[in-house]
Structure 1
Amino acid sequence: MIHTDKNQQHSVTYGQTTTCCASDDKNNAQGDRNNVGPAEHERGADAINMLQLFGPSIISFLFLFVGISFDHFFNVVFFTGWVRICWYLLAYAIVGFPVLREAFESIRKGDVFSEFLLMGIATAGAFAIGEYPEGVAVMLFYSVGEVFQQLAVSRAKKNIKSLLDQRPEEVTVIRDRSAEIVKAERVVINEVVELKPGEKLALDGELLSDRASFNTSALTGESKPDTKIKGEPVLAGMINLNTVAQVKVTTVFKDSKLSKILELVQNATSQKAPTELFIRKFAKIYTPIVVFLAIAICLLPIFFVSDYVFQEWLYRALVFLVISCPCALVISIPLGYFGGVGAASRHGILVKGSNFLDALAKVQHIVMDKTGTMTEGVFKVKENVFREESNRDELLQLVNRLESYSSHPIATAIHEFVGVVNQEILLQNVEEIPGQGLRAEAEGKLLLVGNFKLMDAYSISYDTNPENIVDTVIAIAYDNIYHGYLTISDRIKDDAQITIEKLNALNIKVTMLSGDKSAVVKFVADKLGIKNAFGDLLPEGKVDKIKEIKHNKGLVAFVGDGVNDAPVVALSDIGIAMGGLGSDATIETADVVIQDDKPSKIPMAIKIGKQTKRIVLQNITLAFVVKGVVLILGAGGLATMWEAVFADVGVALLAILNAIRIQRMNF
C-alpha cells in the first residue's frame, strides 16, 4: 500500500558617468541658486555645440548666397576680377580648410586616395576653370554632410550611454558606524554600502536589508520593479525605489556586471560584419580607380574628339570625382550596424559585434535548452510519496543532509521543502554519480537519492512506474529498500509560448534538447508547440544532436546558459545566452546575451538582425544606383556639379537618416 502526501509549493567612448544622488542634490541646489538647473545647463551646452558644428557652414552659405546674388540678381560693379575671386575663396576656405587638412593628414599617414582628397581635387579644379560658386557649393554641402554624419554617430553613442552607463561615481559607505561618501572605485569587497531611495547602486553586492525594490532597466531593459530579499544578489546600475537599503559589496567597481556590459558594447564595433569589411576593402580599391578614370575622362578624348575643349572635359572629370566619393557607403553602413547594436541594447540584448547581427539575420534553426531557457529554472517540490511503513520525516532529513553535498538546483528545492539541514547527521563515502544522483552511507546503511537509473544500478526493486509521472522524480532508497519518491516541478516562463509562436512566424525551426527525463521534456515541448524535443541527453549527447542538425540544416543558433552547455555553444554558429544577470561566464562565452532571461527576446534579436541587414542593403543599393546613374550622366556631360552634390552629399544624408531609423523602431 502506498500512502500519498501532497505538498504543493506555492548599453567607442561613452562620455561622462552619472553621479550619485547626494552629488545630484548638491548640483541641483547650486542650479536653483543660479535659477539655472542641470537640464538648462545641458541644453545650453548642446546649443553651443550645435553652433560650433554648423557655424562655419552657415557663414560660408551666407558668403555663397551673397556672391550668387551679386552675380545674377544685382548689377554690382565692384564684384569682378580679384574681388570676386577673393570673395568666393573666403567662402571656400571657411569650410574647405578642415577638409584639406584631413586630406593632407591622410596622405601623410599613407592613405592617399581618401574622400577628402577627392573633394579637394574636385573643388580646386572648379576654381581653376572659373566655376567658383560650384566649387564653394560642393565643399559646403560636403561639410554639411560630414556634420550630419558626426551628429548621427554622436547620437548613437549618446543613446547607448544613457541606456547603459548608469554607474555612480560616488557611494555612501558605512565605516565605524558612520556614513562616509567615497569614490566608487575605492570601495573594497565586504564593505557595506548604504543606498537611499532613488539612488543607483555603483557596485555588485548582496542585499543585507530584509527587503528592497529596484528598477533594473539599465541591465534588463525592463522598468518593472524587481523586489529582492535579504541575501539575494543586487547589481550595479539598479535603482533603489522605496526604503533605505544596505548592500555588502561582492565585486570591485571595475569588475561589476555593468562595467563588463559596457566594455562588451564598447568593443562591439571591433567585430565587423562581412558586409562592413567588404565595403572598407572596396573603398580602398574603388577610390584610386575613380581618380584614374577621372584623369582618363579629362585627357583621353583629345585622341578621339575633333572639337576637344580641355576646360569642358576637365569639368566632366571634376563632376565625376565629386559623384564617386564613397562617403555614403563608408559612413552609413557602419552607422547602420552600430544602430542595430544600440537598438538591441535598448531592449536588454547584448550583441558582441556587427558580425553577430548578420548571423542573427540568417538563423534558420534555433536549438534551445529547457531548464532556465523556456522554464524558470527554479525547482519546487510538488509531491512526496512514501510507503506507509516508511519513516517519512527521518528519510527526508537524510535526503536533505545528502543533498547538501550538491549544488544542483534540485538540492535547493529539497532544502526549501524540508528546512534547515541537520548537520549532526553523519554520512560517509558520499559520491555523486553523473546523470543518476547521489549515494552515501548513514550508520553503515546505503542511502541512494536520484533517478530510477540509480535504483537499477544498485538492483533496488521498486513498484513505481516512472513513465507515468510527468514531473522530475527523485527516488529514495535506504538500507537496500525502496521507500518512495519526490516529484520536482519547474514552471514554464510566461512568455515561452509566444516566443515559439513568433519563431514559427519567422519560419525558424525550433528544437529542444535537455538532460531532463524525456517525459518532462515532451510535456514542456507539447505545451509550447515544439515538435522536435529530446530528453535524457548527457552533454556529449547534445553535441551529437547539434552536429546532426548542422549537417542537415542552415545556420544554427543555440540558446542556453552558456556555462553547462559550453561545448554546444562552441559548435553552434551563434551562441545566445540566457541569464546574463547570473553568470559572468555567460557574458564571456556567448555571442549574444539576453539580460533578463526572457525567451521572447530571442525572436526580437533576430528581427533586429534582419532589420539591420535590410537597412544596410538599402543603403548600399541607394548609393550604387544613384551614383551609377549620375556617373554615366557626368561622364557624358549631362550632369553638372549640382547633380554631383546630390549624388554624393544627398545620398549620404539619406543613407544616414535611413541608418539611424532602426534606433526608433519597435520590435
Structure 2
Amino acid sequence: MEHVHKMKDGVCTICGQTEKIYTQAGAGDLVGKVSTKATAADSGSCCSHDHGHDHSHEEGGSIVKLFAPAIVSLLLLLVALAFDNLLKPEWFQGWVRLVWYVVAYIPVGLPVLKDAVTSITKGNIFSEFFLMGIATLGAFAISEFPEAVAVMLFYAVGENFQTLSVSRAKANIKALLDQRPDEATIEADGSTRVVKAVDVRVGDVLLLKPGEKLALDGTLLTDTASFNTAALTGESKPDTKKQGEVVLAGMINLQTVAKVRITAAYEDSKLSKILALVQDATAQKAPTELFISRFAKIYTPIVVFLAIGITFLPMLFVEDYAFRDWLYRALVFLVISCPCALVISIPLGYFGGIGAASKNGVLIKGSNYLDVLADVKHVVMDKTGTMTEGVFEVQELNFKGHIEQERLLRLVDAMEYHSSHPVATAIHKYVGERDNSITINKLEEIAGHGLRGEVDGQELLVGNFKLLAKFGVDYDVDPNSIVYSTIAVAYGGIFQGYLTIADKIKEDAAEAVKRLHDLGVKTTMLSGDKNNVVQFVADSLKIDQAYGDLLPEDKVSRFKEIQSDKYKLAFVGDGVNDAPVIALSDVGIAMGGLGSDATIETADVVIQDDNPLKIPLAIHVGKKTKQLVWQNISMAFVVKAIVLVLGAGGLATMWEAVFADVGVALLAILNAVRIQRIKF
C-alpha cells in the first residue's frame, strides 16, 4: 500500500521525497512497485506499506495513530490469553474463542494480507507478506490462535519501528529541505511585498532581515553581510560576504538587513540541485544491495517449497507421522525465513551513510560510491584549491627594466584578464583598475604553459618558463631556484623578467593528510605548478609522493602509472580542470562544490566547502557504513540459519520464529541507524 504523501511544490512535506524520485522508484525488488520494503528504503519513502495509516509523523499524535492497530490487537490478545490460562470462563470456547482471536488478528493482519494479494496481482507471489499470511492463516487452521495473532502482531510492531527508523534516517535531508523558505520579501519601487518563493523571478531584489533564510541564489548588493552556511557546508562558523559575491539559498542572514539580486529560479538554486543529487543517490545501489535483492528473489521461493517439503515428505519416512505437527514446523519455518532484516536494514544502512555524510557537508552520489570509498587505499590530489587556499597574492617583481614596470604590469594584466585562473585574479588585484587602452590581438591559451598574444604588433608571452622556451625566448634565470610560483614575461621576443605569486596552505590540510595515513591510505599530489613549489607543499604536509610541472596529459599518464598498483583510487580536484583524471579514478571527489555546477555534475563525491578534512571523513563514513551493513548481513544469516534448523527439527516454536524474523530485523535496524551518529 502506498505511503500517503503530502505534496507541496513537488516535494513531500512529510518525508522530503520528490515526485520525480517517487516515480523513479520503479518496481520493487521483492514485492512490487510500492509495497516492497526495499523500494521504500531505497526511494526514501516513509515506509514499506502503511498498514492502513497516514504516516504523517510530524503531526500531533501520529505515533499513536501509527501503533493504534497494534495496541488494539495487543489488548484483545492479552484478554484472550487471560481467559485461556487464568479466568477460563466456560463461554470462551468454540466459535466465540475463534471469533475473538480473529477480531484481534484483523487490525494487524488485514493490511498484510492485502499487500500479499497486491503483490500476487503484480506477478510477485513469493513476497514476505505472502509468507506471513500463509504462516498465520495456517496457524489458525491448526487451532494455534494465540500464536497466529502474536506472530502478526510482532510483525506489525516491527514494521512500525522500521517506519520510524526510515523516517529518522531521512532527517538529515529533510533538514536541508527545511532551509528553503516558502516566501520571500521583494523590494521594488521603494516598497516591499511578500511573495511565494517559487514566484520570484531572476533579477528581482530580495530584502533579507537578520535571522531570515535566503530562498533563492543571488549576488549580494549590500556592502557586507554575515551568513550562517551550516545547512549547505556543515560549517558552523559564520561566512562574511562582500558586495558582488554569490550567496545561496539556505544561507541565514545573521546581522544587518541585506539586499540580494536573484540570479537563479527557485528550482534552479544550488540547494535544489544538491537536494536532488542526495535523493537521487539512493537509486545508485551498492553491490551489496544488488546482491541481497537477487538473493531474496531466489531465497524466498526456495523456503516456500522447503516448507511444503517439511509438511509432506516426512510421511514417506516417519512411522508416527502427524500432519498437524509437521505443518506447524513448516509454518514456523516460513515465519523464520522472512528476509525482513536484510531487505530493510541494508538499504537503510546505506541511506544512513549518505545522510551522515550530507550532514557533514559531503554529498555522495550513490551507495555504490560508499562501497568504493570504504576500499580506497590511495588518494591522489591536486594542489591548488584542494590542499592550498587557491587564493594567490603577488609576492615580488623581478623585471629587467627594458619596459617601464607599470606599463609591463598593465600588459600582463590585460593578457590575464581573459583567464579565470586564480593566478590571474591575483594579478588583477595587485594591478588594480584595468587599462582599457591596451588591445590584445591573436590571443591564445596554451595548455600547461600560459598565454600568447600580440600588442602593437609585438608578441607578448605570459606564463611559465616552458612557454618562453617553446617560442625560443632566452632567459638567464634558473626556474628551479625560485620557491614560489612564477609568471615569466616576454615581449617582442625579449625576456622581460618575472613576478612571483604564492598560495597559502589550508589550515586543516596537514591534519587531513595525517588522518588519511591513520586510515591506511597512501597520498600523492599531482600538480601543474612548479615542481619545487609542489615538493615544498608536499613536504610541509607529509604527503607520500608529489609530482609537479605536469601538463593535463602528464597528469593522466602519471595517474595511470599509479593505477597499476591495483588499489582503489580516489582523485580529489576541482572536478572541471581535472575531469580526465576524475573519469579514470574509482571515485572522483570535488572540492568546493558550492562554487561550480560543473563540479556537481562531474564528481562522484562533492565536498560542499573546501575543507580537506572532509576527504578522510568521506572515507571513514564509507568504511563504517560497509562495516555496519556486513554486521547486519552476518547477524541475520547466522540467527536465521540456527532457528531454521531448530524449526525444521521441531525444537523451535512460533515465539523463536518471531525473534528470528522481527527481532533480528529490529536489531539490524538499530545497528544501521548508528551510522547517523558518526563522528570523526
TM-score interval, smaller chain = over 0.9
CA distance in 1, matches of 2:582, 2:595: 17
| Structure 1 residues 490 and 548: alpha-carbon distance in aligned structure 2, compared to 1, 3 A threshold | same
Percent of aligned pairs with the same residue? 65
Name the aligned partner's letter for residue 535 of structure 2. K
Corresponding residue for residue 297 of structure 1: 310
Corresponding residue for residue 613 of structure 1: 626
2:13 maps to which of 15, 23, 28? 15
CA apart distance, 1:429: 3.3
CA distance in 2, matches of 1:438, 1:637: 83
Structure 1 stretch displaced more, 629-638 or 174-183 = 174-183
CA distance in 2, matches of 1:276, 1:175: 53
Cα-to-partner distance string for 1:572-615 (whole Å, 9 max, x where unaligned): 11111111111101111111100011111011001101111011
> Contact between 1:402 and 1:438, CA under 8 Å: does it hold in 2?
yes
Name the aligned partner's letter for residue 80 of structure 2. G
> Contact between 1:122 and 1:318, CA under 8 Å: does it hold in 2?
yes
CA apart distance, 1:441: 3.3
Matched, 1:342 2:355: yes
| Structure 1 residues 253 and 16: alpha-carbon distance in aligned structure 2, compared to 1, 3 A threshold | farther
Name the aligned partner's letter for residue 127 of structure 2. S
Matched, 1:51 2:64: yes
Corresponding residue for residue 268 of structure 2: 255
CA distance in 1, matches of 2:256, 2:210: 6
2:116 maps to which of 73, 78, 103? 103
Matched, 1:543 2:556: yes
Cα-to-partner distance string for 1:203-232 (whole Å, 9 max, x where unaligned): 111111100000001110111100000011
Q: Helix, strand or coil for the counterpart of 1:316?
A: helix
> Contact between 2:387 and 2:612, CA under 8 Å: does it hold in 1?
yes
CA distance in 2, matches of 1:443, 1:614: 66
Q: Helix, strand or coil for the counterpart of 1:603?
A: helix
Name the aligned partner's letter for residue 448 of structure 1. L
CA distance in 1, matches of 2:289, 2:565: 29
Corresponding residue for residue 9 of structure 1: none
Matched, 1:88 2:95: no
> Contact between 2:522 and 2:544, CA under 8 Å: does it hold in 1?
no
Corresponding residue for residue 414 of structure 1: 427
CA distance in 2, matches of 1:49, 1:255: 34
Q: Helix, strand or coil for the counterpart of 2:502?
A: strand
CA distance in 1, matches of 2:565, 2:58: 58
Matched, 1:506 2:519: yes
| Structure 1 residues 112 and 418: alpha-carbon distance in aligned structure 2, compared to 1, 3 A threshold | same
Matches within 5 A, 1:29-48: 46-48=59-61
CA distance in 2, matches of 1:470, 1:45: 59
Cα-to-partner distance string for 1:554-578 (whole Å, 9 max, x where unaligned): 1111111111111111111111111
> Contact between 2:14 and 2:58, CA under 8 Å: does it hold in 1?
no
1:430 maps to which of 443, 457, 464? 443
Corresponding residue for residue 586 of structure 2: 573
2:152 maps to which of 120, 127, 139? 139
CA distance in 2, matches of 1:144, 1:666: 31
Name the aligned partner's letter for residue 346 of structure 1. K
> Contact between 2:447 and 2:552, CA under 8 Å: does it hold in 1?
no
| Structure 1 residues 492 and 171: alpha-carbon distance in aligned structure 2, compared to 1, 3 A threshold | same
Q: Helix, strand or coil for the counterpart of 1:111?
A: coil
CA distance in 2, matches of 1:475, 1:107: 74
Name the aligned partner's letter for residue 62 of structure 1. L
CA apart distance, 1:17: 11
Corresponding residue for residue 450 of structure 1: 463
In structure 2, stretches of 5+ residues that fail to align are: 1-9, 17-54
> Contact between 1:514 and 1:521, CA under 8 Å: does it hold in 2?
yes
> Contact between 1:164 and 1:218, CA under 8 Å: does it hold in 2?
no
Corresponding residue for residue 132 of structure 2: 119
Q: Helix, strand or coil for the counterpart of 1:251?
A: coil
CA distance in 1, matches of 2:316, 2:579: 68
Corresponding residue for residue 650 of structure 1: 663
Q: Helix, strand or coil for the counterpart of 2:503?
A: strand
CA distance in 2, matches of 1:501, 1:364: 14
Name the aligned partner's letter for residue 601 of structure 1. K
CA distance in 2, matches of 1:580, 1:165: 20
CA apart distance, 1:444: 3.6
| Structure 1 residues 301 and 208: alpha-carbon distance in aligned structure 2, compared to 1, 3 A threshold | same
| Structure 1 residues 247 and 343: alpha-carbon distance in aligned structure 2, compared to 1, 3 A threshold | same
CA distance in 1, matches of 2:456, 2:468: 20
Q: Helix, strand or coil for the counterpart of 2:244?
A: coil
Matches within 5 A, 1:120-199: 120-199=133-212
CA apart distance, 1:476: 2.1
Matches within 5 A, 1:208-607: 208-387=221-400, 391-607=404-620
Q: Helix, strand or coil for the counterpart of 1:383?
A: strand
CA apart distance, 1:46: 4.2
| Structure 1 residues 564 and 158: alpha-carbon distance in aligned structure 2, compared to 1, 3 A threshold | same
CA apart distance, 1:395: 1.6
Cα-to-partner distance string for 1:166-197 (whole Å, 9 max, x where unaligned): 11111111222221211222222222111111
Cα-to-partner distance string for 1:403-431 (whole Å, 9 max, x where unaligned): 22322221110010111111112343333
CA apart distance, 1:376: 1.0
CA distance in 1, matches of 2:165, 2:173: 13
CA distance in 2, matches of 1:43, 1:631: 37
> Contact between 2:646 and 2:652, CA under 8 Å: does it hold in 1?
yes
CA distance in 2, matches of 1:439, 1:264: 40
> Contact between 2:447 and 2:551, CA under 8 Å: does it hold in 1?
no
CA distance in 1, matches of 2:607, 2:417: 31
Give the paired residue count.
633
Query: How well do the aligned residues superpose, as a CA RMSD in angstroms?
Result: 1.8
> Contact between 1:328 and 1:652, CA under 8 Å: does it hold in 2?
yes
Cα-to-partner distance string for 1:211-260 (whole Å, 9 max, x where unaligned): 00000011101111000000111111111110111111111111110000
Name the aligned partner's letter for residue 483 of structure 1. Q
Provide TM-score, normalisation by structure 1: 0.92
In structure 1, stretches of 5+ residues that fail to align are: 1-11, 19-41
> Contact between 1:17 and 1:168, CA under 8 Å: does it hold in 2?
no
CA distance in 2, matches of 1:164, 1:497: 34
Name the aligned partner's letter for residue 267 of structure 1. D
CA distance in 1, matches of 2:439, 2:668: 72
Cα-to-partner distance string for 1:75-99 (whole Å, 9 max, x where unaligned): 3121111111111111111211111
Cα-to-partner distance string for 1:133-173 (whole Å, 9 max, x where unaligned): 01110000000001011111112123321135411111111
CA apart distance, 1:265: 1.0
Matched, 1:71 2:84: yes
Greater relative contact order (CA < 8 Å, ≥ 6 in sequence): 1
CA apart distance, 1:43: 12
Cα-to-partner distance string for 1:98-129 (whole Å, 9 max, x where unaligned): 11111111111111001111111111111111
